[in-house]
Homo-oligomer: A and B are copies of this chain.
């Protein structure tokens, strides 16, 4: 007997048939003897409609009223799922954020969960009742409804799993697990049975859109075992767990890519103290996030400086830098949005040398030029021309031995 939190996203509850399907899934776990709580999102499309209404009425709307409006999406789903569960003979009741309560800070529209009172839910789960909890919402210090920001239902599920001391948090979604890379690019990508929190975090932040980053951080902090699996198919998914639970740690677990970045190069910048601070200080004040940074060794007291920013921030970054041109003293600003960031991720890197070298060699063999390199303890990322994305991902997937047997 385990205690499980099951979370279903918007596509899994998009209509009444799918809600009935979710009810049957939950029933199976209950009948297997588990204690179950469920977290649900709004029916697909509903939140977008509600957000649009708020924006149409006023682009600068009160975030507290926005939260009042958009939180209704999840409220509808919990009531409907509770009805569907009861129709299946399962004892169930709905819980809005303020009823649990799920206490958050007062940052309406992007609140952080501060505390969840789990005792009453545990008591009811022990009696065989299934709590159906609204994801994405909580109650703030002002006694008003808050929401956690887009994708916040994953976060609700993980936080609830921690609060009720669940053995596992199952995130049902429209993919059936975490893959070694995007199967649309590499048909021989393999589904991972297990992956560590750290690796999942790196994969999530570099483009794999399976789990919301904040929910993985929270799962890692609270040591909640998370399973990602499909709500439409009947097979085990991927377990996201502490690395101690992964017996055989591969050197590289996955290859991720992102085309959301743009490259900026400042040519012939004076090579003296304070220049980097002038550049990145100006960008930070304009709320432009900078990711990869390289600076060549200079000659004649001048150097080149290259870094990446989010594509959406590129115009703003250019504007900020042109205004700082005199202070910084660069000769030319080159911007290139046609780049892709390719990352290899694996906790095994910590104990294995030569991982980066394998990457560079594999890319060189395909004639792919590496524009920028950055590394972390468990990740090596390179920036390449956007047109090489698929070629690079496939080459690396093969080079690290990740291809499924043919």
**Interface residues, chain A, with chain B CB atoms under 8 Å away:** 16, 19-20, 50, 53-54, 56-58, 61-62, 64-69, 71-72, 75-76, 78-80, 82-84, 86-87, 93-94, 96, 98-99, 143-145
A79 near B69 (CB under 8 angstroms)?
yes
Q: Report if A86-B62 is in contact (Cβ < 8 Å); known contacts: A57-B16, A99-B143, A143-B99.
A: yes
Instruction: Enumerate chain B residues within 8 angstroms of A57, measured Cβ to Cβ.
Output: 16, 19-20, 80, 83-84, 87
Q: Which residue of B lies closest to A134 (CB)?
A: B68
A80 near B87 (CB under 8 angstroms)?
no
Q: Report if A75-B68 is in contact (Cβ < 8 Å); known contacts: A16-B53, A57-B19, A99-B144.
A: yes
Instruction: Return the contact of A69 from the options B20, B56, B75 (Cβ within 8 A).
Output: B75
Can you name 30 A-B pairs with beta carbons within 8 Å? A16-B53, A16-B57, A19-B57, A50-B76, A53-B80, A54-B80, A57-B80, A57-B83, A57-B84, A57-B87, A58-B83, A58-B84, A58-B86, A61-B86, A62-B83, A62-B93, A64-B93, A65-B80, A65-B82, A65-B93, A67-B79, A68-B75, A68-B94, A68-B96, A69-B75, A69-B76, A69-B79, A69-B83, A96-B145, A98-B98
Instruction: Enumerate chain B residues within 8 angstroms of A66, measured Cβ to Cβ.
Output: 79, 83
Bound Cα distance A50, B43 (Å): 13
Instruction: Enumerate chain B residues within 8 angstroms of A71, measured Cβ to Cβ.
Output: 75
- Chain A contact residues: helix, strand, loop or mixed: helix
Known: A58-B86, A65-B93, A68-B75. 4 other contacts (CB 8 A): A61-B83, A62-B86, A68-B78, A75-B75
Bound Cα distance A87, B66 (Å): 13
B58 near A79 (CB under 8 angstroms)?
no
Which 5 A-B residue pairs are closest in the complex by CB-CB distance?
A69-B79, A68-B79, A72-B72, A58-B87, A65-B79
Bound Cα distance A368, B78 (Å): 57
Bound Cα distance A57, B53 (Å): 28
Q: Report if A65-B53 is in contact (Cβ < 8 Å); known contacts: A72-B75, A86-B58, A99-B144.
A: no
Instruction: Enumerate chain B residues within 8 angstroms of A144, measured Cβ to Cβ.
Output: 99
